[in-house]
Structure 1
Amino acid sequence: MIKKLLFGLFATSIATTAAADDKWSVGTIEDNGRPIIIRAISNIPENIDPSLYRNMIAITWKFKSESGMPSSEEKERMNDLEDSISSLVESKSQAILTIVVTGNEVAEWQFYAKSQEDFMGLLNQALAGKEVFPIEVSLQKDPEWAAYNKFRARG
Structure 2
Amino acid sequence: MKIEAANTDAWNIAKGKNPEKPTVLRFRPSLKDALGDANYPQRLMIVWQYEPVDASGMPSDTQSADMKDFEDMLIEALDPDRLAVLAFVFTTAGSREWHFYLSDVSEVGIRINKALANIPQLPIELTIEHDPEWDELRQVYQLCAVGS
Residue 52 of structure 1 corresponds to 39
RMSD after superposition: 2.1
Q: Which amino acid aligns with 1:40?
A: F
Q: CA deviation at 1:46?
A: 7.6
Q: Which amino acid aligns with 2:70?
A: L
Residue 128 of structure 1 corresponds to 117
Secondary structure of the residue aligned to 1:26 is: strand
Residue 50 of structure 2 corresponds to 63
Q: Which amino acid aligns with 2:140?
A: F
Q: CA deviation at 1:154?
A: 2.3
Gaps spanning 5+ residues in structure 1: where? Answer: 1-20
Q: CA deviation at 1:45?
A: 8.6
Residue 5 of structure 2 corresponds to none
Q: Distance in 2 between matches of 1:46 and 1:29?
A: 25
Residue 42 of structure 1 corresponds to 29
Query: For the structure 1 residues 34 and 45, does the alpha-carbon distance in structure 2 shift closer, same or farther, using more than 3 Å as the test?
Result: closer
Residue 101 of structure 1 corresponds to 90
Contact kept in structure 1, 2:38 and 2:132, CA below 8 Å: yes
Runs of 4+ in 1 over 6 A off after TM superposition: 45-49
Residue 135 of structure 2 corresponds to 146
Q: CA deviation at 1:113?
A: 0.8
Secondary structure of the residue aligned to 1:130 is: coil
Query: For the structure 1 residues 126 and 48, does the alpha-carbon distance in structure 2 shift closer, same or farther, using more than 3 Å as the test?
Result: farther
Gaps spanning 5+ residues in structure 2: where? Answer: 1-7
Q: CA deviation at 1:87?
A: 2.1
Residue 115 of structure 1 corresponds to 104
Contact kept in structure 2, 1:22 and 1:42, CA below 8 Å: no
Query: More relative contact order in 1 or in 2 (CA 8 Å, sep 6+)?
Result: 2
Contact kept in structure 1, 2:22 and 2:92, CA below 8 Å: yes
TM-score by length of 1: 0.79
The yes-or-no answer on 1:30 pairing with 2:17 is yes
Q: Distance in 1 between matches of 2:32 and 2:75?
A: 14
Residue 18 of structure 1 corresponds to none
